[in-house]
Amino acid sequence: MPDIQPRPHYHFTPAANWINDPNGLVHYQGEYHLFYQHHPENITWGPMHWGHAVCRDLVNWQHLPIALFPDENGVIFSGSAVIDWENTASFGRAAMVAIFTHNQNGHQSQSLAYSLDAGRTWRKYSGNPVLPSADGQRDFRDPKVFWYEGQADGHWVMCLTAGDRILFFTSPDLIHWTPSGQLGPIVNAAIGVWETPDLFELYVDSGPETRWILTIGVQDGAPAGGSGTMYFIGRFDGGTFTSENSEETLMWMDYGADFYAPQSWNNEPHQRRIMLGWMSNWQYANDTPATTWRGMFSLPRELSLSRTATGIHLVQRPIPELQLLRGNHHHWQDEIISPGTNLFAGIQGSSFEINANIKVGQDADGFGFRVRAGKGEETSIVYSPREQKITLDRTHSGQGSFHPGFSSSHTADLAPVNGNLILHIFVDQFSVEIFANDGQVTLSDSIFPAEDSFGLALFSKGGLVQLNTLDFYQLLKKPS
């Protein structure tokens, strides 16, 4: 069947049919591996496989054959991948090992598969499952595994979800697992089932102090409604994670509706923590407009930690490799934006990057950008100086009738930094991602505008706005 459905220019999509969670992110022999939840025969969720793609620059992906298929133990749910450099599992030195959830009629257990040819072919471990649930529970899944280098010796660590909590296990060999602790449940937290954990250590403001970050997908109760990703900051001793969050504090990675189940790469060669997520929401994921494929991933983000007046928080920035996409460039400096004028007059686009530094005063009621504007539709990014809030409004962004909650706006608190607002915005065919104030706040939404909705505007409401600098780049994937 010909691909009659337009595609994003630079966001990852499946070759065909359905994707959801990213899985098994690992770097090996110069390649970034991206596995993902995949239904190869339909554009809706169904019997899960692991799809597979690789690249060398986190931008230009090459699709590979399906890596893991359902078998006698069930379908293949989410998980992670590691390189077993020391052959602890006896599959072979430097084997690539996938650790994933088998789901058999709703009952879940953890299993292994391994590859000795850089992920091109896979063999399931004959002793699967290696970690069955103690009571056959339905929500016991999504193992994230990594090597922990202790003071005396190292060991493997697994964290996985069990309904409303995270369980931790340790192992010398990826096969035999011992319980080592848990986090949760959270008292009085109106959130859904926990999924897709990730656990990693980051420096605070470039060091030397560090903290551990535990990210968790929740199926319901996120700030924008439906599914979203929360995170905890704390300490990890090789077996148990201890959160420093208060019981009343829930911190969210993204305040848009479409950043879910994020995972980070193991073995990133530059010691960065790079993460990407699924740009959809379980409220409507099966219903978004689609013909030959459905689902896309966010841009890869580099994570760090920053200490603020309200504590330590996660910072997310677009990776510098995205500059490979840059084409035509426009630059402005020291401009005054007044109501009814448009700095972008004569400029259009469906895939572009905006990097703006704007002085925040009290003259205007609000200011921002309109993107993917066309006949009767637009997506708006609006900042309110008095309320110190940023809103990503897709109420009139295009197709939205497929779900009653889709055509909505999403808001986050955002105070100026030294009197200025910094907005780094990426727009593609079906998405808007905002990194505000150098990544202190992010909002990510999918949108479904008409193909010819190319309009673009920078606007102010109720007064003048001073633009310090603005850079606009057309973005288009180039041959790798």
Active-site residues, by number, are: 21
Quick one: DSSP state of residue 324? G
Phi then psi for 413, rounded to 5 degrees? -70, 140
Residue 216, beta-bridge partner list: 230
Phi then psi for 321, rounded to 5 degrees? -60, -20
CB 192 within 8 A of CB 163: no
105: phi > 0 → left, psi -120 to 50 → alpha, else beta; which?
Answer: left
Render the burial of 459-471: b for 16+ CB within 10 Å, e for the rest: bbeebebbbbebb
CA atoms of 243 and 231, how far apart (whole Å): 10
Token pair for residue 220?
């319901």
2: phi > 0 → left, psi -120 to 50 → alpha, else beta; which?
Answer: beta
Quick one: DSSP state of residue 286? G
Nearest Cα to Cα of residue 172 among 191, 150, 157: 157
Cis peptide bond prior to 339, omega within 30° of 0: no
CA atoms of 432 and 451, how far apart (whole Å): 15
**320 SS3 class:** helix
CA atoms of 70 and 48, how far apart (whole Å): 7
Phi then psi for 50, rounded to 5 degrees? -105, 110
